[in-house]
A and B are shown apart, each in its own frame.
Chain A
């Protein structure tokens, strides 16, 4: 877009409507360095990165028919980290920005509101920020690539485009699915979130996956489905025991369409099993997942999935509806459709390889999902430096899903180290 504003991309249009005064779709990416972070230098680096990635330096403004993103001058202040991260971003506290940066000892974390970008875009932002910080601090000369940008370059058109709009086709497919088993539990205080991280060696996990003829992502998805199925078997309601167990797996669309946008460009597929047919072994679940993904992860199928949403956005009747009416409609659709078809979410950003010049400064990378109304327990995973981080986010007291998941890993011989944000 020109001048100093952008329209929201197609996926982002739902998020400002869906958020409430207490909750918003937020995810968090963090890098742990080998030394305590110099906050002043990091603040300076943040300023440079925002000029390079202008779609991040925006505030949300409401027009008559749609929201828009308006470029902001200035730089958000880096905040102190907290025990309950990823609460809704208050525009008065963040200076209008739709993300916040938090520092804690050696760790620099960025929390993004989903309207600005998805996991891949967020990772690009974090790695570019770390690169700039390392350049300022140590004079490190780190080579750039698709995920690590040079702050001296100008932003390109491909990076700021709404790829959904450009690539949408004419045909859409139905997204109707059978209902899924939803996890339930005892509520925790409203502003609390329980984070449980498991750290396992990537090579051992890859070896295990290879043993089962699967990829790491498929293995983790299967283990999560297996854990939820085990919890489902203990449910007292017969109707709920007969529901399918499905996990939503976000898919980065950029590789399928050769796209370089730094805004949202991902879709999702729901994979799962019909537990009413019996107790599945891990290999049976893996077969199900593998073939569902093979069928759904093609260019034609993925394009048809998001074309339906784009068609809705282009519909004249919907476009002419004032924003004040669109918001409650979108919110009820989100609340109604978002929860019923999935039991949980597993977002896998994959293996991150950093150039050697950068790797010596970065010890660990983390990826977390914020508390959600659509799934009470969710998982995010990232692999770097032979460490696979398996991060669970939960908003109920009961930890059965995490326990089943990690215990099955331990039983298969994979060592797991657990940390959490609980105060005992």
Chain B
């Protein structure tokens, strides 16, 4: 029988650290435990049914679509304004239900799916409002640029090997790149984005540089934690 040197309680043979204070059991003449532990190592697991939640939400979302489609067909004679409802609900579905139904997929896939559905939703609005030519030169490139920026940002944030401050620096630089891209798409040459880029890139590069200095990183961690 062993005792905890810190608490003074006797410890059952199955304990290798004290359950009360976490002190390791120190007993030179202790035989390697053949004793039966108080509980086995098998664990109980309750599977959570994601598919059911996804199906339930999908059913709730179908109801407004069906109602509006039926009203549309009966009052106007075809699918006109109910298409807006349908595409809106489909958009919400892709944001809400897809991550619930397939939670084990990589976040990059989820971001890609959200980006694709945003692009398609804007296309639907474009076609429904008379196709006046803003989709291809304006909406689509902005969506693509934003999705690319979010994907890169996600990759940076999830990179556990990189120092947090360095990751922050990279994120600022990504932000500058995104604003420059949007500026180019809108105006075909760099105008206002230079005013964004200068402070943001400076801050990003400063953080990036600082992240190589151990002492400053330590100071930041100690004074700026939340």
Which residues of A line the B interface, CB within 8 A?
21-22, 80-85, 87-88, 90, 104-105, 191, 194-198, 399, 402-403, 406-407, 410-411, 415-424
CB distance from A77 to the nearest CB of B (A): 15
Q: Give CA–CA (A105, B39) in the complex, Å.
A: 10
- B20 to A83, Cβ gap below 8 A? no
- A82 to B39, Cβ gap below 8 A? yes
- B11 to A422, Cβ gap below 8 A? no
- B43 to A84, Cβ gap below 8 A? yes
Which residues of B line the A interface, CB within 8 A?
1, 4, 7-12, 14-22, 36, 38-46, 48
CB distance from B25 to the nearest CB of A (A): 9
Query: Which residues of the partner chain B approach A406 to less than 8 Å between Cβ atoms?
Result: 7, 9, 20
Interface centre among A84, A194, A416, A420 (most CB of B within 10 A): A420
Given contacts A85-B44, A417-B11, A419-B15, 5 further A-B pairs with CB under 8 A are: A82-B40, A104-B39, A191-B46, A406-B7, A418-B4
Question: Of B15, B42, B48, which is within 8 A of A82 by CB?
Answer: B42
Query: Which residues of the partner chain A approach B36 to less than 8 Å between Cβ atoms?
Result: 105
Question: Of B10, B41, B45, which is within 8 A of A416 by CB?
Answer: B10
Known contacts being A87-B46, A399-B20, A399-B21, is A195 close to B11, with CB within 8 Å? no
Query: Which residues of the partner chain A approach B44 to less than 8 Å between Cβ atoms?
Result: 82-85, 87, 191
- A420 to B40, Cβ gap below 8 A? no
Query: Which residues of the partner chain B approach A80 to less than 8 Å between Cβ atoms?
Result: 40, 42
Query: Which residues of the partner chain B approach A421 to less than 8 Å between Cβ atoms?
Result: 38-39
CB distance from B24 to the nearest CB of A (A): 9
Interface centre among A194, A418, A422 (most CB of B within 10 A): A418
CB distance from B212 to the nearest CB of A (A): 32
- 15 residue pairs of the A-B complex, CB under 8 angstroms, read A83-B42, A84-B43, A85-B44, A87-B44, A194-B19, A196-B19, A399-B19, A403-B7, A406-B7, A406-B20, A407-B9, A407-B20, A418-B11, A418-B12, A418-B20
Known contacts being A21-B48, A407-B8, is A418 close to B41, with CB within 8 Å? no
Known contacts being A403-B20, A418-B19, is A195 close to B39, with CB within 8 Å? yes
Query: Which residues of the partner chain A approach B20 to less than 8 Å between Cβ atoms?
Result: 196, 399, 402-403, 406-407, 418
- B9 to A418, Cβ gap below 8 A? yes
Query: Which residues of the partner chain A approach B46 to less than 8 Å between Cβ atoms?
Result: 21-22, 87-88, 90, 191
CB distance from B22 to the nearest CB of A (A): 8
Q: Give CA–CA (A134, B150) in the complex, Å.
A: 67
- B39 to A417, Cβ gap below 8 A? no
Query: Which residues of the partner chain A approach B14 to less than 8 Å between Cβ atoms?
Result: 419
Query: Which residues of the partner chain B approach A85 to less than 8 Å between Cβ atoms?
Result: 39, 44
Query: Which residues of the partner chain A approach B45 to less than 8 Å between Cβ atoms?
Result: 191
